[in-house]
Amino acid sequence: MASQEYMDKMQIRQNYRNLWHTDLVRTIQRDPPYCCLAFWCGPCVSYMLRKRALYNDMSRYTCCAGYMPCSGRCGESKCPEFCLCTEVFLCFGNSVASTRFLLQDEFNIQTTKCDNCIIGFMFCLQQIACIFSIVAMIVGSDEIQEASQLLSCLADMVYCTVCACMQTQHKIEMDKRDGMFGPQPMAVPPVQQMSRIDQPIPPAAGYPPPAYGQAYPPQAPGYTAPGYPPAAYPPAQNPPAGYPPPGYYR
């Protein structure tokens, strides 16, 4: 029952309308220094991004942002900073994914097909590396053992690279939220909007939608837009003083 609810929430997340400000492929071009920092110091960056996602208010913190069964049962309210440190170092992958889900649910952001393919390739490569390691352990062949080690190394490199790009993507999105390259920063939402694990369908929130309709350029006099009735004719004007009214000489 619980797994079906999680699947339903994942399906709802795919129906969001907004997109990430930068996709995973372009994050290295957009902010190379931060991407390198996220690659070499992933847990530290994950700590900073989660705290920033919570608007630097650690009273909002819940383990794994409320998306895991252990959320709310680890005594987070007593020492949220320590619990967050434990999360990012012992459950690094979950910490990155939880921050991602938190931003997606707050701003109604969907993950593009390209990003899904990159993340799916990362998981598949890890599974293949695990299978090769098991086969090498059972067979005992030196060639298979060496191949499994190379594949495991490749899987770890892809994992660290994708996580670094994801965290850079989160950072750029929060830069947009805080008005660093936008019109104005967004207001801090209430506490109940920060986690959506207990809500079947998230309420309407996020970035304001684009203006509806289309502004037409100025047209010549007498022009009528398609689908609109013609403009009313101007009212008849009274003749100047000293002239007879219309129809006087009939």
Contacts of residue 92, Cβ cutoff 8 Å, sequence gap at least 6: 42, 43, 46, 163
Question: Within 10 A of 53 (CB to CB), how many other CB atoms are there?
Answer: 23
pLDDT in tens, 1-57: 445 666 676 677 777 889 999 999 999 999 999 999 999 999 999 999 999 999 999
Asked whether the CA dihedral 207, 113, 202, 162 is positive or negative, the reply is negative
**Which residue's entry shows tokens 């939608």?**
209
Q: Note down the domain range covering 31.
A: 1-180
Residue 248: inside a domain: no
User: Could you report the per-residue pLDDT of 59-104, keeping only the tens digit for each?
Assistant: 999 998 888 888 888 888 889 999 999 999 999 999 999 999 999 9
> 92-107 and 142-177 are packed helices; what angle lies between their axes, rounded to 10 degrees?
30
Position 44 in a domain: yes
Both tokens of residue 145? 């053992």
Number of domains comprising the chain? 1
Q: Is residue 185 part of a domain?
A: no
Residue 223, in any domain of the structure: no
Residue 117 has phi, psi (to 5 degrees) of -65, -40
What are the tens digits of pLDDT across the range 122-179? 999 999 989 988 988 888 888 888 888 899 999 999 999 999 999 999 999 999 998 8
Contact between residue 148 and residue 136 where contact means Cβ atoms under 8 Å apart: yes
* pTM (global) more than 0.85: no
